[in-house]
Copies of this chain bind each other. A is one copy, B any other.
């Protein structure tokens, strides 16, 4: 797995210099690189398209931007870092005094060597982000200010990669691709998602896994608008009221649609411990799986409740959809000083941390994939396991006692209400042991899914 860590880190290094935003060529270039690892289906959605309560904005592209002194020296240069320009800056070409310029400059006085990350997507604005120490070193006087950007009708770009499963029911894995040169937020998440997709494809998983590489908020909203039937079974545009959209009591999250579970990946490469943020429901199967796997793994970790803030779980868990989608990160959203600054760089993420995140995801999806509700077909008294070879066959195994207990537990709790993970948690037995016992009982015709 350390090999995977190094490969993920190499992918992060390639993506790091690109200037991504919620639209534009930086996103396209990013998706082209990811496509080298896993084939992507890229979607282009025209400016002005109505998506749920939102409208796809104009496309933003930028070629060059700088602040130069009278000698022509670029004291702030977009070529050095994509962070130097306020995201979605309108074009500007002017000469102005430092005093006039100041209103357009963003710094972090508390971290004078760091460059902040700032955007103004929906309010026309221009600006530069720079280190406080750079600003402090700028003498009064005139400066040439230039942002060679365009805001024009175009497209919003996002991509999907699907790992086909044995059933059409889907697990979505989502990561945002709209942040410029920030390593943890979210190049590490992109890298873990990419390698997770590759790992899942090595065997045919139970569920169909759909990976989304989309800009934050507007990208998730665009995907939801175009996949309402996949998500809910009906289009919210066709008379689906909020009241009807709420599943009935006892109905599974997303019961109407194919999307059964989901995970948002972000901040996947920093040195902090793993953090799982539960879905809005809190009792979705993905919540139970993540809690179980984190606990069973004996990793230091944290499980937090849903809040309607953070990454695109906000959209997937909005009350109309209310999907069973949680979010996995290491240090969570806005939880580290380097967040949204130039200090979230290639030194802040590591192959080891990304590899650890990837391992946890694989463990979780292995449990999710094997988790079932069975019905005991011989529920009156215990079935005679011995004459079916289910005792004898165990005689030579060192874990025979545990395997036998697991069979009795699966038989006892397989009433259609308890999943194998419920059995594992109630019995205290490892999930693998329980799932193996279920396989043996299923093979003997004693339980059915």
Contact status of A381 and B242, CB under 8 A, knowing A308-B411, A408-B308: no
Instruction: Name the B residues within 8 Å of A415 (CB-CB).
Output: 242, 246, 319, 322
Binds B, one of A135-143, A174-182, A382-390: A382-390
Instruction: Name the B residues within 8 Å of A217 (CB-CB).
Output: 382
Give CA–CA (A202, B413) in the complex, Å.
40
Give the interface of A toward B (CB within 8 A). 52-54, 122-123, 217, 220-221, 224-225, 228, 236, 242-243, 245-246, 280, 307-309, 314-315, 317-322, 375-384, 386-387, 392, 405, 408-409, 411-416, 427
22 pairs of residues in contact across A and B, judged by CB atoms under 8 Å: A52-B380, A54-B384, A122-B386, A224-B380, A225-B381, A228-B380, A242-B375, A242-B376, A242-B416, A243-B416, A245-B379, A280-B412, A308-B382, A309-B408, A314-B382, A317-B412, A318-B379, A319-B411, A319-B414, A320-B381, A321-B380, A321-B381
Give CA–CA (A246, B315) in the complex, Å.
39
Nearest CB of chain B from residue A125's CB, rounded to whole Å: 12
**Contact pick for A378, options B53, B309, B375, B378, CB 8 Å:** B53
Q: A53-B380, A54-B384 are in contact. List 9 more A-B contacts (CB 8 A).
A: A53-B378, A53-B384, A242-B415, A242-B416, A243-B375, A308-B409, A308-B412, A314-B408, A318-B411
Contact status of A319 and B381, CB under 8 A, knowing A308-B408, A309-B408, A386-B122: no
Nearest CB of chain B from residue A400's CB, rounded to whole Å: 14
Each complex incorporates copies of this chain amounting to 3
Q: Which residue of B lies closest to A305 (CB)?
A: B426
Instruction: Name the B residues within 8 Å of A220 (CB-CB).
Output: 381
Give CA–CA (A136, B319) in the complex, Å.
74
Instruction: Name the B residues within 8 Å of A409 (CB-CB).
Output: 307-308
A380:B308 contact, CB within 8 angstroms? no
Contact status of A380 and B317, CB under 8 A, knowing A122-B387, A387-B122: no
Give CA–CA (A228, B280) in the complex, Å.
42
Q: Which residue of B lies closest to A417 (CB)?
A: B246
**Contact pick for A318, options B53, B228, B380, B416, CB 8 Å:** B380
Give CA–CA (A380, B245) in the complex, Å.
9
Nearest CB of chain B from residue A248's CB, rounded to whole Å: 13
